[in-house]
Amino acid sequence: MSELRIHAEMAAYSIEPEELHGMVCGMAVNGNHEFVLSDFIDFVGIDALSDQESLGTFVNAALDELHDQNMIFQPLVADDEDPIGKRVETIANWAGGFLAGFAAGLDGEHADLPVDVQEIIKDLVALSSLDPEDYREEDFEPGEMEEHEASLVEVHEYVRVSTMLILALMDEHVSEESAID
């Protein structure tokens, strides 16, 4: 189990670790250059948190990964060894958390976002509604499992790269907006 997941589990007892990670990432890539922990706590709700010190450690570690120059960022989702249904569930939870965090930290309207960001948001909305029940291994025909596995690897990489792309596009968007003002 990753250290990041352990901190997430210690920080919030009523929010799944992948959803909490998605929330942090969503709020962090919205173009504001400063992540304000107290704003995040207000957004999540103090009652959802079990340990604010662990939350601070978790948020700092998540932000360090997200902003790392070597692009080590990975969405905090189930491992490849986990059953496919669990992996689908954690991707859906992460995407839902990301969308909530992104919206909570956003200044302005969705229509004002760069077109590429709007497209990624649409894709994440679709991913957030994935139903793990549709991915029960016992329901697969022979050969289907490999197709689903390959698709899930592609989805994971899409989410990873798209998060970093939104970060870059929103930074650029905010810079352009402030140059106009």
Structure confidence by residue, pLDDT tens digits, 113-130: 999 999 999 999 999 999
Residues 90, 95, 99, 101: is their CA dihedral positive or negative? positive
Whether pLDDT at 166 is above 90: yes
Q: The whole model's pTM is what?
A: 0.92
The model's confidence at residue 108, banded by pLDDT at 50, 70 and 90, is: low
Give the model's pLDDT for residue 147: 85
Domain ranges of the chain: 3-180
Say whether domain 3-180 belongs to CATH 1.20.120.740: yes
Q: Please report, to the nearest 10 degrees, the dihedral formed by the alpha carbons of residues 61, 63, 69, 70 taken in order.
A: 50
pLDDT digits (tens, 9 = 90+) for 34-45: 898 999 999 999
Arithmetic mean of pLDDT, 123-143 = 87
Are 95 and 127 contacting, i.e. CB atoms less than 8 angstroms apart?
yes
